[in-house]
Amino acid sequence: MAVPEVLLQSGVSSLLNSINSVIQSLGVSVLLPIIIFLIALAFRVDVLKAARSSILIGIGFIGINLVIGLFSENISPLAQQMVEVTGITLPAVDVGWPAAAAIAFGIAELGVWMIPLFVAMNLVLFAIGFTYTLNVDIWNYWHFAFIGGLVYMSTNNWLYSVAVGLTLGLFVLVAADWTQPAVEETFDTPGISIPHGTSAPYAVAAIPIHWAVDKTPLGNIEADPDAIQDRFGILGEPIFVGLAIGLVIGIAAYSNALFVAESWYAILTAGISFAAVMHILPMMVGILMEGLTPLSESIRNFMTSRFEDRDMAIGLDSAILIGHESVIASSLLIVPIAIVMSIILPGNDVLWGIDLATFPFFFALMVPIMNGNIVKMVVTGTILLIPLHYISSAVAPLLTQAAGSAGFDLAGRGLITSPVADAGSPATGVLALIPAPVALAVGLVIVLGIWVALRMWPQRMYMVAGASEEKARETVERRHTGKGGGLLPNKLGSSADVTAAEGRSDD
Amino acid sequence: MTTKNILVVCGTSVATSTVVKEALKEKLPERGLDIGTIAKAKATEAPGKVSSGNFDLIVTTTQLNQDKFDIPVIHTTAFMTGIGQDEVLDDIAAALED
């Protein structure tokens, strides 16, 4: 009977259509709390706590939207005017990592679904002995959602997007294992590794660059990070950086009318608005984070309680590293360099803004590699700024589209980007800018290459990431000798890598 | 006993400091401590905020140069890893009771 079947089909499709239209009209600030509530219940968070968390997450989204509105109302027109007056064309405004994170989690089809997917992947990889890290820092799963979201915007293919997001997840786990002894030694953080989606790709890319920089005379200069931090003092705080950038953009926009009082009203307003965005946006993101905290505790217990007898590293945010004086000093020094480069690099679209305050994440894992030498850190960082500008320019249209899809109102005022985290990251360049199947293949080859190297020459690899010979050997003895807890081998090949290669004493 | 104010410091004043703040808010009153404000700060903002004289203790998830502060500084990742929380809470309580 054909007729009822057609009716049934049209019934189903109209049901799907109406579900879709409900989702569309609810918006992220309602939809996301509902999804988080369900995920929280699945991880056995108490019902009332889960409800409170979910509401806070909705509030956080509304707050972030307000601040982005303030930004696009006050700053974007000025940037446009700056183009007209000075001829400097930088159409992609830097809205910074807080907005990028909110956009990433806000893409309804993908965003927070990365949380259970990554937890499952991490548990399996730990169980089979692929990684030593349990990444309990669920807030920073946004990096995987971010890269997946960009791929979703370009392919509209859910499977590719999830696969690419999880490939970044795989990379940060392997990178966390790789850098763990060095981090533990430099920052005094026993048992902790840093599977961070921003810090890890930059640090891994910095290794060959630093190797080359070290061969030049620049490798011999020392500078005292404490003195630099003291010289900047309170001026190094984000609100002063924000004020300065706002004033500079304002002055550029009104450079043809600097002797008119009205221009200065606008310039000063730009300064204070920019400082306001710099200060308020992280607070709004803090509300989101507060909402995620009970879920993150449940997931932590869910993950760690399963493997209490195994040698594990708990994966945390690189925020715990960035009080280090070399990180702070390098992050201050690179700000003027980044601004000058954005103007002189041909074809750059990035107009720097909020992410000028994000450089600590860029430098965090470079400290052990470069022994905290800030000259090397800044020189290596400056070289990395070249691809950073081009990658974040190229990604801007996708990120702008993603923002729209996550329900953020940019009022059609041009492009946005978040150059440091993660629009300009080498990982974004590899995973989001080339066609998804190729990106997946390249990403997996890199990950497996590092993994095999870590199992073949663990001591040498730990030293490359900045661990001392002693620390590296100690870690090899703890991790890579005897049988591990998982199915995969802890060590490939038989010889101890460094003594065999260097000393050749045992054969 | 007087009300004590705590400054929680991390890299961004967004992520790890929120975890610590929520944990302190829940667990310190259970120990009979009278806690006033628990504020968050970035590592770069900490000296400025502390110089206001409003805070009695710093709890930080990242390294800070202790010489720059005239109040006790406790460096811990226990609230994020879930390992050794009770010991750190003991330290915090002891520092606040002085």
Instruction: Print pLDDT tens along chain B (98 aa).
Output: 578 899 999 877 777 888 899 889 989 988 888 888 999 988 878 888 888 888 999 999 988 888 888 999 999 989 888 888 899 999 999 998 86
Three-class SS state of A74: helix
Q: How far, in Å, CA of A175 to CA of A180, rounded?
A: 8
B9 vs A319: CA distance, rounded Å: 10
Closest CA to A301 of A138, A183, A128, A174: A138
In chain B, residues with a C-beta closer than 8 Å to the C-beta of A323 are 9-11, 43, 60, 62-64
A39 burial (CB, 10 Å; 0-12 / 13-18 / 19+) is buried
- Please write the tens of the pLDDT for every residue from A356-382: 888 989 999 999 999 989 899 999 999
Measured CA distances, A297 to A59, A480, B47, B55 (Å): 21, 30, 30, 28
Whether residues B14 and A140 touch (CB distance < 8 A) is answered with no
Q: Describe chain B by its helix, strand, coil percentages, rounded to 5.
A: 40, 20, 35
Q: What's the N-to-C CA distance of chain B in angstroms?
A: 11
Could you tell me which of A48, A85, A52, A95 has the C-alpha nearest to residue A408? A95
Higher pLDDT, A281 or A40: A40
Candidate from B18, B62, B64 with C-beta closest to A290: B18
Residue of A nearest to B48 (CA): A234
* Higher pLDDT pick, A8 / A219: A219
Q: So what's the pLDDT on residue A2?
A: 47
Burial of A444 (0-12, 13-18, 19+ CB in 10 A): middle
Six token digits for residue A264: 């200065």
Residue A501: the pLDDT is 45
Q: What pLDDT sits at residue B53?
A: 85
Residues in B touching A139 (Cβ below 8 Å):
15
ipTM of the predicted structure? 0.77
Tell me, what CATH number does B38's domain have?
A: 3.40.50.2300
Torsion sign over Cα B84, B89, B95, B98: negative
Is the pLDDT assigned to residue A203 strictly greater than 90? Answer: yes
Count the domains in chain B: 1
Are A314 and B42 a contacting pair at CB < 8 A? no
Q: Which of A320, A325, A365, A420 to mutate to test the interface with B (most CBs of B within 10 A)?
A: A320
Q: Per-residue pLDDT for A447 more than 90?
A: yes
Question: Three-class SS of residue A234?
Answer: helix
Contact B18 A187 (CB under 8 A): no
Catalytic residues of B: 10
The encoded tokens of residue A33 equal: 């709390």
Q: Would the CB atoms of B14 and A98 count as touching at under 8 Å?
A: yes
The values of phi and psi at residue A119, to 5°, are: -55, -45
Q: Which residues of A234-248 are buried (b: 16+ CB within 10 A; e: fewer)?
A: eebbbbbbbbbbbbb
Give the residue among A422, A398, A402 at the shortest CA–CA distance from A108: A402
Tokens in use for B68? 């720059």
Residue A422: asked if its preceding bond is cis (omega within 30°), the reply is yes
Q: What pLDDT, in 10s, does the model give residues A129-171? A: 999 999 988 889 999 999 999 999 999 999 999 999 999 999 9
SS3 at position A78: helix
State which residues form the domain around B38. Answer: 4-97
**CB within 8 Å: B77 and A286:** no
Q: Which helix (H) or strand (E) holds B41?
A: strand B35-42
Q: Which residue has the tokens 């690189």?
A: A318
At residue A333, the pLDDT reads 87
Q: Kindly report, residue by residue over A242-251, the tens digit of the pLDDT.
A: 898 889 889 9
The alpha-carbon gap from B92 to the nearest alpha carbon of chain A, in Å, equals: 19
CB-based contact, B43 to chain A, within 8 Å: yes
Contact criterion met (CB below 8 Å) for A229 and A331: no
* B74 sits in which H/E element: strand B73-75
> Could you tell me the pLDDT band of residue A504, with boundaries at 50, 70 and 90?
very low
- What pLDDT was estimated at residue A506? 41
Sign of the dihedral defined by the CA atoms of residues A279, A285, A291, A295, in that order: negative
